[in-house]
């Protein structure tokens, strides 16, 4: 796929609206899934919460896309989760289940859910960390290398559940942590930045005029969580609608 812009922060795809963003990102997923399955026999995909990623999931479940992805070889993970049961309105798992999982044939064994319902968020994080080490055959301090890790971005620059000034943002050893988010007065479960930056491909999905200012700050190098996403040995892509890219200069 040919990006609109190639910048120091990665490839930028600017689309007319969220529908076109979702289709463009959908083609990106189809391409990566085929390549990953051909190379390793599976496609490890880490999902994000948020309304913009949700639009992509619905698109992947649509007749135009769902038969183009080898679902039996796809393994789904979550890059973050709210500390709620999987049937809760705020659950990222529930969102993905409604938008995608319930509409495609993917083996239950390939769905690796973060246990938001666990009354001890720290235990839930440790369990997921152990699952990652098993599924990625990790030894020592190695980190899982996702074939594709999807991210959204909040209007204050958070990504996954790595919020500005939150403790998890500076965690460099752990893979998954429980993170108390002051502004939400709530615990979250989240990948740490080292896991995000270990991925082979990372793609942000960002839409809406409300994100234009924070996008321009991230691309200007402001010290925001989303600006810390710089895959150490992988590719970074940004899928925007025109509104969210409204303040991006070509010199970015």
Of 142 and 183, nearer to ligand 6PG (C-beta) is: 183
144 contact partners, CB below 8 Å, separation of at least 6:
44, 132, 133, 135, 136, 138, 175, 195, 198
Q: Output the smallest distance, CB 80 to ligand 6PG, in A.
A: 5
Rounded least distance, CB 78 to ligand 6PG, Å: 9
- Looking at beta carbons, which residue is closest to ligand 6PG? 152
CB of 190 to ligand 6PG, least distance (A): 8
Which positions lie near ligand 6PG, rule CB under 6 A? Answer: 48-53, 80, 92, 152-154, 158-161
- Least spacing, CB of residue 138 vs ligand 6PG, in Å: 23
| Strand ranges in the chain using DSSP code E only, listed in sequence order | 5-7, 10-15, 43-47, 74-78, 80-82, 111-112, 148-151, 176-181, 186-191, 201-206, 235-241
* Strand-pair category, 148-151 with 201-206: parallel
Q: Could you write out the DSSP letters of every residue in 44-97?
A: EEEE--SHHHHHHHHHHTSTTTGGGS-GGGEEEEESEEESS-TTSTT-HHHHHH
CB of 161 to ligand 6PG, least distance (A): 6
Residue that has been written with the tokens 């942590």 in this structure: 177
Strand-by-strand arrangement of the 176-181 sheet: 80-82, 186-191, 176-181
Measure the CA–CA gap between 111 and 230, rounded to whole angstroms.
Answer: 27
**Whole-number minimum distance, CB 82 to ligand 6PG, in Å?**
6
């Amino acid at each position: 796929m040919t990006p609109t812009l190639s910048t120091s922060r990665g490839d930028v795809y600017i689309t007319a609206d969220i529908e076109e963003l979702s289709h463009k990102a959908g083609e990106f997923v189809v391409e990566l899934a085929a390549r990953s399955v051909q190379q390793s026999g599976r496609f490890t995909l880490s999902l994000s919460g948020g309304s913009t990623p949700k639009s992509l999931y619905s698109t992947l479940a649509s007749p135009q896309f769902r038969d183009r992805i080898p679902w039996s070889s796809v393994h789904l993970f979550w890059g973050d989760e709210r500390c709620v049961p999987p049937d809760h309105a705020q659950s990222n798992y529930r969102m993905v289940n409604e938008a995608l999982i319930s509409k495609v044939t993917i083996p239950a064994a390939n769905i690796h859910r973060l246990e938001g319902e666990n009354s001890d968020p720290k235990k839930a994080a440790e369990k997921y960390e152990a699952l990652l080490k098993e599924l990625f055959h990790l030894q020592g301090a190695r980190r899982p290398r996702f074939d594709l890790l999807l991210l959204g971005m909040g209007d204050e620059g958070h990504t996954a559940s790595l919020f500005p000034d939150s403790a998890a943002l500076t965690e460099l050893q752990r893979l998954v942590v429980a993170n108390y988010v002051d502004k939400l007065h709530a615990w979250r479960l989240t990948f740490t930045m080292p896991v995000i930056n270990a991925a082979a491909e990372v793609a942000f999905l960002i839409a809406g005029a409300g994100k234009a200012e924070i996008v321009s700050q991230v691309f200007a190098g402001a010290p925001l969580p989303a600006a810390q996403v710089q895959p150490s040995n992988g590719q970074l892509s940004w899928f925007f609608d025109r509104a969210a890219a409204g303040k991006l200069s070509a010199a970015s």
